[in-house]
Each structure stands twice: as structure tokens, then as C-alpha cells.
Homo-oligomer: A and B are copies of this chain.
Amino acid sequence: MVDRYADALSRLLELVVVLNDDMTRHLAGTGLTVPRATLIWELQHRGPSPQRVLAEALGVSPRTITGLVDGLVETGYVTREPHPGDRRAVAVTLTAQGRAVAEAFVAGRAELGRRLFAHLPAQRFAHFDRTVAEIVTTLREETA
């Protein structure tokens, strides 16, 4: 092939696919999906949150959050608690089970990070990480 930039982009898109597959596969055992796991991840960082905040954090509509929270309530990962100070709102809250998987996510991320990066020469790792960060910035600017 002649266009090495286009080829590199193709490999990067390939990476998107395999990373998504990897997450989905690891989640399979927990009965969670990627959007639901993302919501749990946010809750662990933010603590109990109204659904409106979660909608903005995940970049989806309030209606979508209703559905995701419904599923997580049914499967025992979160509860809807009354929001102190606003009776219209709820405080979506992790259960013990929810906190347990959230901690497993943190451990799993650390382990995968080691497996993917720990063997790399320091400079190559630094170049990779810096380039990833720059690409995110570039694509973000274009969106705005």
C-alpha cells in the first residue's frame, strides 16, 4: 500500500474494534453491557448522582438514562434514592454489588494497562501515549 497515514488509521480503527470486543467479552460474565458499565464507572467517580447529570456525563438523552438505570436496578447494581433537597430528582446510588464491580473495573483496567504497555521501551510508550492524547484533542476541537 502507498498511503501509510491511511494505513495507520485503518490499524487504529481495527484497534477500536478489538478493544470494544475485549470490553464486551469481559463484561459478559457480569451480565453488564458497555453503556451500563460506563454508568457504573461514572457513579464510582461522582458518587450518588441525579439522572440529568449522568445523561450529560454519558452524552445521551435523559430517556436513555432512565432505561440504563432501570436495567441496573433490576440486576441489583444501583438503587434510586430520594435526592436530598430536590423532590423531583433521584440520587442514583451504587449498591454493594455495584461498588464491587466498580472496583473490579479499576483492577481490570490496571491489569490490562500493564499487559499492553509494561513491556514497551520507555520512549516508545511515551510517544504512543502522547500521540493518543493529541489525537483525542484534535478530534475534540473539530467537534466543537
Contacts and interface: CB of A to CB of B under 8 A. Distances in A.
Contacts of A3: 110, 113
Interface residues of A, number: 48
A112 to B, nearest CB: 6
Given A129-B11, A132-B15, A21 B143 contact: yes
A88 interface: no
Nearest to A124: B127
Interface stretch (A47-55, A73-81, A115-123): A115-123
A6 B131 contact: no
8 contacts: A5-B113, A6-B110, A6-B113, A8-B113, A8-B132, A10-B109, A18-B140, A125-B131
Given A9-B117, A18-B136, 7 more contacts: A5-B113, A6-B106, A8-B129, A15-B135, A22-B139, A22-B143, A128-B128
